[in-house]
Each structure stands twice: as C-alpha cells, then as structure tokens.
Amino acid sequence: MDIEWITVEPGKVFIGSDNRSILFGGIGPRHEVKIDYNYEISYLPVSSKISKKFLESKDCYIASESEWSLAMKRKLIFGNNQVEELSDRIRGSYWSKYCDGRPFIEDNWLMKVSRTWISETPSITSIPKGEKSEYVRLVRRLDVEYNDSSAPKLPNSSDKSKLLLEEFMISLIIGIIPSFIWANFNASSGYISDAWLNLVFGGLFIGVFTAIFWRPKTKSWRVGNNCGKMKVI
C-alpha cells in the first residue's frame, strides 16, 4: 500500500475541554499546543498490519494527538468509519503535559487517545488499556527530538483547594440556601432547628448532583508569545 503523505507546517491548536460536567464534559484542561516543526502525516488512517512495516523501519511514528489536531484543524486529513489510535496515553487529564507537539504519556495511564470517524466526521474517543485498534495515524518527522525540558508545559495538577471552594459555593447557592428557604416557608415550626443537619446534607447532595449536567467552564491555557510558558487565558 502506498501511503499518501500530507505536509503540515508549524502552527498552534487548542486541545482538551473546558467543560468538567460528568455528562457533557471532556478531558481537560483546554490548552494550546505550539508545534514549531514541519512534519508529514498520512492522509488516511493506516491499518495496523501495514503500519507495522513502516514503524519497524523507523521511518515514521504514530501521530500524537497534537499533530493530528493541527492537521485536522487545517482539514488536511480524512477518515471514514474507522477508529484510529494515536500515540498519547492518558489517565484522566492533561496536567503536566509538554505542549510542543510531543505525545503525552501520563503516569499510570489507563486509556489510549483515539479518534472515531463516522460519516466522514471524527469524534474524540479513547481505547482502554489492553485493547488494540485496527488503524493508526502515521507521521514522519525530520530531525525532531523531544528532549527540551524548557518547552511549554502545563502545571503538574489543578488547584484543588480552589476547586473544592468552587464546589462548596455551588452547593451553598444551589442546594443549601434554597433548602433553608423552603423549610422556612413550608416546614412546621421548629423544623429548621431540629433538622438543620438534614437540610445541609440535602443541599450538598443537590449541589453535587448538578455536576452531572453543569459546571462553570474551567480556565484555558495558552503558550505565551514572548516567554514560551503556559499562561491562563
């Protein structure tokens, strides 16, 4: 099989989701990747049987999610009814990722990043650890080495204290306060003083339950124009 190679010039692309709701959210944080090198990417996904020969010859590699996303942003690649595996490996977030185009291999990863094509439209998917895909996306890079520790990099983790505060405020405003207001106007005399703890826990439950459908958008990150470091948008 002859692979049709498409040249991709340097550029920037955003990856990840700023929605952290359970039902509608995705892997975050949303962040910008800056690729400073030219590379070639296969126009179509390549079957694992054929790609094995190319990978063994060390002339090419499995594309990173960043490389795939930049090519897709420019509408340079195509697929149809295939699940293609990319080289990134994640556990549940992009924290600590280098944002220069290299594959992201998270510690103790659980999923392989993939894309599923249905009716010529790709969607973000993942393949569980231990399972294989019939297709991959190949790239050819010339003189590219990922050993620069000064490259743009996301922080190692999110601000957990800020996240907990946000969750508490959501539960307070959406759950706890409305529960006490309802009890004040509808419950019997003395109910609030006798059952205030139940009202608090009920309000907390309501607040946590809303995470299934909604949460405020998380902050996105971009590559600084002058410093080359990741900055919050």
pLDDT at residue 1, as a whole number: 66
Average the pLDDT over each of 57-61, 68-72, 164-168, 222-226 and give the range with the smallest value.
Answer: 57-61
185 part of a folded domain = no
**Looking at the DSSP assignment, which residues form a beta bridge with residue 153?**
98
User: What whole-number distance in Å separates Cα of residue 90 and Cα of residue 208?
Assistant: 25
Residues paired with residue 89 on neighbouring β-strands, in sequence order: 105, 112
Distance, CA of 144 to CA of 142 (rounded, Å): 6
pLDDT of residue 211: 95
Rounded distance between C-alpha atoms, residue 97 and residue 221, angstroms: 12
pLDDT, mean of residues 214-232: 94
C-alpha pair distances (Å), 171 with each of 13, 91, 158, 212, 214: 35, 28, 20, 13, 12
Q: Does residue 27 carry a pLDDT above 90?
A: yes
Task: Give pLDDT tens digits for 61-84.
Answer: 999 999 999 999 999 999 999 999
pLDDT for position 161: 95
CB atoms within 10 A of CB 178: 16
The tally of domains found in the chain comes to 1
Residue 205 inside a domain? The answer is: no
Q: How confident is the model at residue 118 (pLDDT cuts 50, 70, 90)?
A: very high
Tally Cβ neighbours within 10 Å of residue 3.
16
Mean pLDDT taken over the chain: 95
- Does any domain span residue 155? no
**What confidence score (pLDDT) does residue 113 get?**
98
Domain assignment of residue 187, yes or no: no
Domain that holds residue 46: 5-147
To which residue do tokens 């609030």 refer?
Answer: 192
- Give 191-220 pLDDT, tens digit per residue: 999 999 999 999 999 999 999 999 999 999
- Range list of β-strands (E), 19-62: 31-35, 39-42, 46-47, 61-62
pTM of the model: 0.91
The pLDDT-based confidence of 107 (bands split at 50, 70, 90) is very high
For 204, the token pair is: 């907390």
Three-point CA angle 152, 158, 164, nearest 5°: 165
Domain-located, residue 106: yes
Q: How many CB atoms lie within 10 A of CB 116?
A: 17
Q: Is residue 194 one of the residues assigned to a domain?
A: no
Specify if 51 maps to a domain: yes
159 occurs within a structural domain = no
> What average pLDDT score do residues 184-193 get?
93
Answer yes or no: is pLDDT of 122 > 90: yes
Instruction: Say whether pLDDT at 185 is over 70.
Output: yes
Whether residue 26 is predicted with pLDDT greater than 90 in this model: the reply is: yes
